[in-house]
A and B are shown apart, each in its own frame.
Chain A
Amino acid sequence: MGVYNRILKKSLWVFHMSASPCNNCDIEVLDLLTPGYDLERFGIKLVGSIRHADVLLITGMGGCKISERVVRLYNQAPKPVFVVAVGTCPIGGATFKDSYSRCGPLDKLIPVNLYIPGCPPKPEAMIEGLLKLLGRLD
């Protein structure tokens, strides 16, 4: 794992998945890429395909219809893959915890490596979280 981790640390590719969110965390994730925060300076890049991803960034409370797809996408991802739950929704459901269409929390569906709570988490908090993930690779 030593060599693999050393390489991974320099270029973490992220796939963003929205599992019934309110859009807010998703926009903040996109915001990370723009000049204000510029996540790419850490070598972190958003990719379009799950098969290229090292990290799954999952937002939203996990609706029943989408949950099945989330599990399917997780199974398609090359392992090892790190799962990051962004926002309060995938962790505890936030205001939607009693919703009839909720199949979450996320860790009931797939194993989660890192939780970033907040509604929405500030971009600084997300950067902090992803850096913690990078630090864990040492």
Chain B
Amino acid sequence: MSEDFNLPVGPFHPLLEEAEYFKITLDGEKVKEIEMETGWMHRAIEKLSESNTFDQTIFLVERICGICSASHPFACVNALEDIGNVEIPLRARYIRSLIGEMERIHSHLLWLGLAGHFIGYDTLWMWAWKYREPILEVIELITGNRNHYGVFRIGGVRKDYDISLNTRVNEVMDMLEKKLSMVAKAAMDDPVLKSRLCGVGILTKEDAINYCATGPTARASGVAIDVRKDEPYAAYDLLDFDIIVREEGDVFAKTVVRILEMLESIKMVRQIIERLRKISGPIYNDVAEIPAGEGIGRHEAPRGEVFHYIRSDGSNRPIRHKIRAPSYVNIPTYEVSCPGMNLSDVMITLASVDPCYCCTERSVKLFDSKGTEIAQNLLELSQRKTDRLIDELGESELWKLL
């Protein structure tokens, strides 16, 4: 006879670089159930956004996540431009796509390294992060900062791309393409790696659709969705690229999707910097004001689709700003991909959707009909209800019911 065992992981755990808490229910070494508690990283961004002006909001949403720090402002400016029907100059559209793709490369390399670290393949970690460094250097040359680029503005971009950087960007892309093929060969043909990743954490196509998974998580399960193709924005309708789809749905498929996506991104960066040579013109259109109305903005972030909804009443601040980050829908897929696996495979499955807990954090506040806040502690709430019932019925009446 076996007994269930609860294994708490976190909030501060050597393997989690963010603070997060998982409760894993085990039967022997097999995982039966997995639960997650959020709220450790909650920063009240949607509320803060309501007290900031539109220009400040773009800077604020950039700080939702430090890894995909171009994706949130990208979706946010898309939403704001949707409200005001703002036209963007062609040059700005290309620069936006350039930054989006650069970010995808560095984010996927970061994931590849961490995934290697999680399965005890530290060489892959060091390799991947070594090749990520030149990308960050190029991003710094283009935008002025390694992360948190601060280049997005309503109607265009803040900083122009300098054509003289083309040689350096091309150099880095050549180097990266060579090294990536090397890493891809080393990782994809390695028998140890294959046996660790193949058939682990399988997410079927049905489950991917049921859980509304996005990004590489969905594409590795055979669901061909990509906002860049489905609903092109910025310069993506002018670029030539493919969506990478795999059918298997396991961790290995997710790895392959990400590696091949990086090669696609390199292809796109090359096209963009070549075309920027010929396109001249302004990098932004002046936008006097955002009219009253509501708008949505989407962007295919490295982890999946980012969705922003903004409602404006004609003033200079949003009155409602709703954000849905890709990890918010990808993380619940643990419920179907983890049970039945060995405990030692859980970590890589958790990492395989490239979770970003900072993007995901939500908090719930409950108010009663009078508008006073109900205590956050549900246990206390429940105990108080019992007390109230006893008071109403009288203790002797309750005894009679028994």
Contact = CB atoms under 8 A, between A and B. Distances in A.
Interface of A: 16-28, 30-31, 34-36, 48-50, 60-61, 63, 65-66, 69, 73, 94-96, 98-102, 119-120, 122
Nearest to A96: B43
Q: Which 8 A-B pairs have the closest CB atoms?
A: A24-B66, A48-B14, A34-B129, A23-B66, A36-B133, A99-B44, A22-B66, A35-B130
B44 A101 contact: yes
Given A18-B18, A26-B17, A95-B59, A66 B11 contact: yes
Contact of A96 (B17, B48, B148): B48
A96 B49 CA distance: 10
B interface residue count range (under 10 / 10 to 19 / 20 to 34 / 35 or more): 35 or more
B211 interface: no
Given A23-B65, A31-B129, A17 B12 contact: yes
Nearest to B59: A95
A9 to B, nearest CB: 25
Contact of A100 (B14, B47, B125, B147): B47
Interface string B1-29: 00000000001101001110000000000
Contact of A63 (B12, B43, B65): B43
A100 B146 CA distance: 29
Interface string B200-231: 00000000000000000000000000000000
Interface stretch (B34-42, B86-94, B241-249): B34-42
A66 B69 CA distance: 23
B95 to A, nearest CB: 22
Contact of A18 (B19, B56, B110): B19
A26 B133 contact: no
A62 to B, nearest CB: 10
Given A95-B59, A95-B63, 13 more contacts: A16-B17, A19-B19, A25-B66, A26-B18, A27-B17, A27-B67, A30-B17, A34-B126, A36-B130, A94-B63, A95-B60, A99-B43, A99-B47
Contacts of A120: 66, 146-148
Contacts of B64: 22
Contacts of B41: 18, 20-21, 60, 63, 66
Contacts of A34: 113, 125-126, 129-130, 133
Contacts of A24: 63, 65-67, 69, 147-148
Contact of B358 (A22, A73, A94, A95): A22
Contacts of B17: 16, 18, 26-27, 30
Contacts of A23: 18, 65-67, 356, 358
Chain B residues touching A, majority SS: loop
A46 B14 CA distance: 10
A28 B65 CA distance: 13
B363 interface: yes
7 contacts: A22-B69, A26-B18, A27-B67, A65-B40, A69-B19, A95-B56, A100-B47
Contacts of A49: 14
Given A23-B67, A27-B66, A101-B44, A35 B147 contact: no
A48 B130 CA distance: 23
B51 interface: yes
A26 B133 CA distance: 16
B160 to A, nearest CB: 23
Contacts of B11: 66, 69
A101 B45 CA distance: 10
A50 B358 CA distance: 22
B288 to A, nearest CB: 25
Nearest to B17: A26
A24 B51 CA distance: 24
Interface string B57-93: 0011001111101000000000000000000000000
A27 B125 CA distance: 13
B163 to A, nearest CB: 26
A92 to B, nearest CB: 14
A64 to B, nearest CB: 8
Given A18-B18, A36-B129, A27 B147 contact: yes
A22 B51 CA distance: 20
Nearest to B37: A65
B358 A61 contact: no
Nearest to B60: A95
Contact of A66 (B40, B130, B133): B40
B20 to A, nearest CB: 10
Given A95-B48, A120-B66, A20 B129 contact: no
Nearest to A64: B42
Interface string B133-154: 1000000000000111000000
A101 B146 contact: no
A61 B67 CA distance: 17
User: Most chain-B CB neighbours within 10 Å: which of A24, A35, A96?
Assistant: A24
A60 B343 CA distance: 30
